[in-house]
Copies of this chain bind each other. A is one copy, B any other.
Amino acid sequence: MNSNRVVKVKATVSIEKETPETERPDTFLRGNDDGVASSVRFRFEKMIREAQDTVCNAIEIADGGGKFKEDVWSRPGGGGGISRVLQDGAVWEKAGVNVSVVYGQMPPDAYRAAKGAASNDQKPGPIPFFAAGISSVLHPKNPFAPTLHFNYRYFETDAPKDAPGAPRQWWFGGGTDLTPAYIFEDDVKHFHSVQKKACDKFDPTFYPRFKKWCDDYFYIKMGSNYDHRLEYNDGMGNMLDTWSSCHRDERRGLGGIFFDDLNDYDQEMLLSFATECANSVIPAYIPIIEKRKDLPFTDHQKAWQQLRRGRYVEFNLVYDRGTTFGLKTGGRIESILVSLPLTARWEYDHKPEVGSEEWKLLDACINPKEWI
C-alpha cells in the first residue's frame, strides 16, 4: 500500500469541453488500441456501464414510480459519460448514477511536484492519463431508509511523449458506504456482511483494512481539509492563505469499505475485485430499502433526517475526493452536484438528547464500531 502523502498543486489539467450526445456510444474509448477488448481500460468501461444499467434498473423496480433521466456527453478527442438521475420518485428523493471516461494531460509542473523534484532544470513533457469511474449517491425519502454512496474508478497514465519507453502507472480506487439517519443494527450488519463477503473472495485482509480505511477516510478529510483559513498579506501584494484545523471529529455515516491507490496486487485480480464490489451494491442495499421504505415516521424524525442531509452536503461540498471522483472527472457541474440531496437543513448548534435514537446515530459516527 502506498503512503498517502498528498502534494497539492494548483494547476490546470487539460481537458476538452464536453458536448451533449443524443445516443449512447458503444464505447467512450478512443479508436486506437484503447479499444482492444483485452485491455483493462476497455473491460473497466464495460464493467461500470453494466453496473450502471444494473443499479438503475434495480432502483427503478424498487422505487415503483420514478424513472431515471439520462444525459450522455462526449469529448471530441475521446472520453465522455452518462449521467442518470431519478428525482422525486416514490422511494428516493434523489438517486444519481454516473459513469465517465476521461482522457487528459497532467501538466509538467504537477508531474515535477509529484516526483518531488527540487530543480526546475528537469522539463518532462505533459503526462497523458486515462480515468474511468462509476459514482452514485442514493437519497431515499423515508428517514429510516439510509443513503448509499458508491464509487469505483480506474486510473492509468501513458508515457510522456518525450519519454515513450517509460512504464505506465495504474491504480484502482473506490468504495461503498452507508449513511442512515437512524440505526437498525440488522441493516448495518447486513450491509457490512455483503462488503466482507465481496472482499473475502480476494484477500482476507481486504475487509478489515478497507473497513478501517473507510472510517479513517471520511474522518480525516474533515480534520485535514475542512480547516479554517486565515489570510495574511505580506504588504507586497501577496496574499497568503493558510489554515488551522477545525474538526467535527465525526464520520459521515456508518462506513463500509474504501480503498485508493491500489496497485500492489495483480491487475486482473483488482479488476475482478472492483467488479465484485460494484456487483455487491444492490444485494447490500436493496433488502434494507425494502424493509424501511414504508415505515411510518414523525415530523421530528423527518427533521433529523434533513439535518443529517445537511451534514452530508457539508462533507460532499467541502471535501469530496472519493465521493465525486467519477462525477468530477466528468467536469459537468450538474453531474458533480447530483450527489447532493433534494433537500437539507441546518440548525445552529443542534444537539440530540443524550440516549435518544438520534444521539445513538451521532455516537456511532463519532466512535466507529465493528458491526460484524
Contacts and interface: CB of A to CB of B under 8 A. Distances in A.
Given A155-B231, A340-B310, A107 B242 contact: yes
Contact of A237 (B3, B231, B248, B310): B3
A260 B67 CA distance: 48
**Which 4 A-B pairs rank lowest in CB-CB distance, beginning with the nearest?**
A114-B240, A2-B237, A317-B317, A228-B328
A310 B340 CA distance: 9
A30 interface: no
Interface stretch (A9-17, A143-151, A212-220): A9-17
A354 interface: no
Given A155-B231, A244-B104, A245-B12, A237 B110 contact: no
Interface stretch (A179-187, A287-295, A331-339, A362-370): A331-339
Interface stretch (A54-62, A266-274, A342-350): A342-350
A372 interface: no
B107 A228 contact: no
Contact of A233 (B14, B169, B306, B330): B169
A10 B243 contact: yes
Nearest to A351: B334
Interface in A110-132: 110-111, 113-116, 127, 129, 131
Contact of A232 (B129, B330, B348): B129
B321 A318 contact: no
30 contacts: A3-B237, A4-B239, A6-B239, A7-B239, A8-B241, A9-B240, A9-B242, A11-B242, A12-B243, A85-B349, A94-B346, A107-B242, A110-B240, A113-B240, A114-B236, A114-B238, A115-B236, A129-B232, A155-B233, A228-B331, A230-B329, A246-B331, A313-B313, A313-B317, A313-B344, A314-B317, A317-B318, A334-B349, A342-B346, A343-B346
Contact of A314 (B231, B306, B337): B337
B243 A13 contact: yes
A333 to B, nearest CB: 6
Report the copy number of this chain in the oligomer. Answer: 2
A87 B229 CA distance: 26
A40 interface: no
A371 interface: no
A10 B8 contact: yes
A129 B6 CA distance: 28
A346 B309 CA distance: 12
